[in-house]
Structure 1
Amino acid sequence: MDIVSLVPQFGGVIWTILAFVVALSIVVAVHEYGHYIVGRWSGIHAEVFSLGMGPVIASRVDRRGTRWQLAAFPVGGYVRFLGDADAASSRASVSVHKLNEQERGRTMHGAPLWARAATVAAGPLFNFALSILVFCAFFMVKGVATELPVVGEVKSLPEASQSLEEGDRILAIDGQETPTLSDFVQVANELPPAPTAAYRIERDGAEMDVTAPYPFPPVVDAVQAPSGAHEAGIEAGDVVLAVNGAPIASFRELRDAVGLSNGDPLTMTVWRAGETYEASLTPRRMDIPLPTGGFETRWLIGLSGGLLFEPETRTPGPLEAIWLGIQQTITIITTSLSGLWHMVTGAISSCNLQGPLGIAEISGAAASQGAGNFIWFIAMLSTAVGLMNLFPVPILDGGHLVFHAYEAVAGKPPSDRVLRVLMTGGLAVLLSLMVFAVTNDLFC
């Protein structure tokens, strides 16, 4: 066995594990801190705040009597409030009965209903808040496209030609006027694929005609993971020149070539920084959400493209950036719920459900693509964790909220026996789902 050849592979596994642990720890810490701080504000005492599970590595007790601890297995975390029997906030009836009335009011089960419900809901809400703040920061740092079709940075292509320059305003393409960026995108999408297109532009106050590359060239904007392209080493900025020897002039032609492959292996000729290389990869069948709702099954290699140039951007104000962050978070939630519904109804493959191994692989890929991509992934993971915890499954936050809603209507909480049965059932559901997701990671 060639030990030296295994070093890069081993390093990749370690990198993936570290990225997954960091991402999950941040998301879990924010989630549990939401429970802790709202519980504290509501007068509920937290005995333990644990990041990780299992044996305690380090701990300290603060002036409020809460023990903050780091546990050995970074696969979750919990807050144990006064009166809880375990991390799932099961009622510890014996210990609670030993408390006086004032002390009972500081327990999770003796506090007012509104305080308990707020404390439970705070975990997922803090996850959503983290996502919104991260997305908001991205929009403020990177900016958003202006409404006018003004050229920003022009992407590198293998053949230099009379081209567009930063600051050019595109007035028309192939004779069709483009007063706004959305008009330009619509017209460009309808053009037949070709190596070049005719642009009418305004540059330094003067109008002129230039010939420049096709508006949607076969340039890689982003590489998704896991995917065939990621495994083949294709990177953002690469230009696909040919697929199985057939020249490619536009990203649409690349997409069509992959779609017609029917999953057969492809050989791509790729240009990167003045040099060409061959990349062999195999498309994967995936279910893609449609803008109009629903999903479409396609053969994909994990590449996304874009315009020949980056549109000119502007910096949104704080309120607009927050609203954009909220919209991005809502989009992730609605797409996730739609995907789950289509899986349950059999409209799309259940292989779309990824488990911890798949999420870890995505974590490693995002981290390897830079800090920005990794932070964006953490925000998406935070939304997913917040949403999952709101599902009405006993043992999850959503299940506890259902119990509180029942108590609000019936005037009393469910009995201890009912709670034990439901909690056990909820745990069984979660474990079954975990096994199913891991099976998907291994065999789909």
Structure 2
Amino acid sequence: MPVIDRRRFLVHHAAVAAAAATSVTLAPRCVRAAANDRLKVAFIGVGGRGASNLKAITGTGRIDVVAICDVDNRFLENTAKQFPAARKFRDFRKLYDAVGKEIDAAVVSTTEHMHAYATMPALQLGKHVYCEKPLAYNIAETRAVTEAAERAGVVTQMGTQIHAGANYRRVVELIQSGAIGDVHEAHVWVGRAWGLQSEADAQKNDRLFVDARPKTGMTPPSYLDWDLWLGPAPERPFHQVYFPGPNWYRWWDFGNGTMSDLGSHWNDLPFWALQLDAPQTVEAFGPEPHPEIAPASMSAEYQYGRRGDRGPVKLTWYQGTHKPEIWERGEIPKWNSGVLFVGSKGMLLSDYRKHLLLPESDFEDFVYPDPFIPDSSGHHEEWVAACLDGGETGSPFSYAGPLTEANHLGNVAFRVGKKITWDRETMKCIGCPEADPFIRRQPRAGWSLS
């Protein structure tokens, strides 16, 4: 398969900025419904995040809900009451067989390990797709989805809702206009500490405490199809430490912990602002890797090479109790979660909704650049508009795919317990064959991406 090259990956956000500067409407790069048509959508996963996505997308007033799907019958029946004309399914494979030709788009809000399997059929049918983050369970699945979207030429969007916020746009403008000079270092930290930790720490930080796979199973609740919930993941008996969500989030077979989840939101900002792509090397730090459970606390150091006229940059991710040294020393505000850019002329600290130029005394008379990245109509709204009217989304798979791959590489480095050198073309860690099982896996019988 061809690899999405860096130029194609970067061109999206450059095009958005150029369009703003020249008042030129971007030409749509997609097959789309006729102007003013309503979008016929299948919603796969309608509880939790799925319910939120359903509400936001139908709230645009331009949607016909053709089909709904969930392995949890409680969510399925509750949603059916709201949309009685929609056809109901427990298995999304049967949904695509039954209504694939009738729909224009699919919205995927399943558990992480199902994302690629629920998304790929829509892309193969030439349908627009909105998929929750992270884009897919591992690097190989992410690459397959990214390339399928490129071939399909449809409108895509990954669920990084904060990407549409005004604060991120202003930060990107500051970094790219040189407000703090050449950025050579970035730090990203999140306070969430879900995953493997002591029972005492779990009582303070987490939803539950678990440090090993249960030795016995439990009877699944009557409303849940456990076999469909497992999907391509290895078979195991039901237990409440996996379900309901997000209990599954910490188990390597179903998710990738905090790194792939919150990394989709927080690493998005430096990825966008610094025009990052594939790291050259990644090294992770934390407790001894557990074969089944992701850590509550860890950190990962990424080295990126030159990108055009931008020099090399080191990006470090921290989660749980891990924090940057400059934060520990109290030399910056101790925000619970944040992104710190370190440049030759100063620093910029940001979270989702606010940012500071540091040291503040050096920027008292600073004049902000005129905005050159257009404000978004809304994360979900821009996807619907792009499907029906043409145009671009903020987090298409061509951008979200490389971001997701980079996040996964932090976990790969953690799980192999050593520094890895990444070969993007071959999707391999050079001289580290033990990383292969963490890059790709064979799905359970009956499941395939082809």
Do the structures match in fold with TM over 0.5?
no
Higher strand share: 1
Per chain length, whose mean CA-contact separation is higher, i.e. which structure has more relative contact order (CA < 8 Å, sep 6+)? Answer: 2
Which structure's CA Rg is the greater one?
A: 1
Normalised to the residue count of structure 1, the TM-score between the two structures is: 0.29
